[in-house]
Copies of this chain bind each other. A is one copy, B any other.
């Protein structure tokens, strides 16, 4: 049976990435050794790191003056790393979900936090608008895509203070005007690589202005100075990231991905809106995530939730259970998700509807 991988993360990766990584686990770059057992200082691995950084910059069209880093610790470590490096007196945060809340909670240890707006009153099913970013904040932090709630900030906003974005789950899904951001970070385990590596895009001139102790490994400058090789980087995740970056380039880059992502999400949202027994949790079209599409049973059909889950599972759908705080279903449709899997899910929904009319 064909498996359709809708996991929210770690999540579907291109077959190109999977095959090349499996090959390199057996024989890396003709060394006769596994990529797992080769020094990170070997010329073969240095070439991987260099190409990954260069392709990352090329694909995202990153301007001069920014560094690209590959570090460990996940986005959760960034929740502390951002304030360690940027927080002086006050920071502003937009609260759009569970990850925003964790970022806010961590930053509160550093001083005053201005939560400029929150969508918590409606279980985070929309992106707040019409707020003002305080001009005296050291930075303004947003989570561009909210995996749990299926909302996404699909535009690059103007900010009077340095804009910091957690793009863990939508990096490389749409073109981004990097120049509007001071810092972008994210765990790699959605559109890039297996878990274990965290990417950071940082404008160099925002650093070096702190008096506090910054733990060496939590200091962005440490990793900039050593080209992400201050300590041993996570070699397999970085190798896999490079494969995905190559695949992105071979497949038309981010513009092409964006077009396909809009097409795929459009198909699925249309079916959810049409289908008589499901409804989308995010009503506002402009707030709907292209990466995580959340839907629940329509009023009156709640009793069929488990039956649909079992039916979809039998049809090969994996990872479609919604997060426990939302319930229902979540189809994560990252770059590597083929249109065929979207169509298979739609057929499953349609067949289930017919069977239960």
Contact = CB atoms under 8 A, between A and B. Distances in A.
A230 to B, nearest CB: 7
Contacts of A36: 10, 13, 17-18, 21, 193-194, 240
Nearest to A80: B215
Interface string A20-64: 011001100001111111111010000000000000000000000
Contact of A3 (B1, B31, B187, B235): B31
Interface stretch (A71-79, A114-122, A175-183): A71-79
A10 B31 contact: no
A216 to B, nearest CB: 6
A216 B80 contact: yes
Contacts of A12: 37
Contacts of A232: 9-10, 74, 187, 189, 195
A128 interface: no
Contacts of A21: 25, 36
Q: Chain A: interface residue count, which band?
A: 35 or more
A11 interface: yes
Contacts of A39: 7-11, 319
B7 A38 contact: yes
Interface in A221-276: 230-237, 240
Nearest to A232: B195
B196 A37 contact: no
A318 B28 CA distance: 14
Given A18-B25, A21-B25, A7 B37 contact: yes
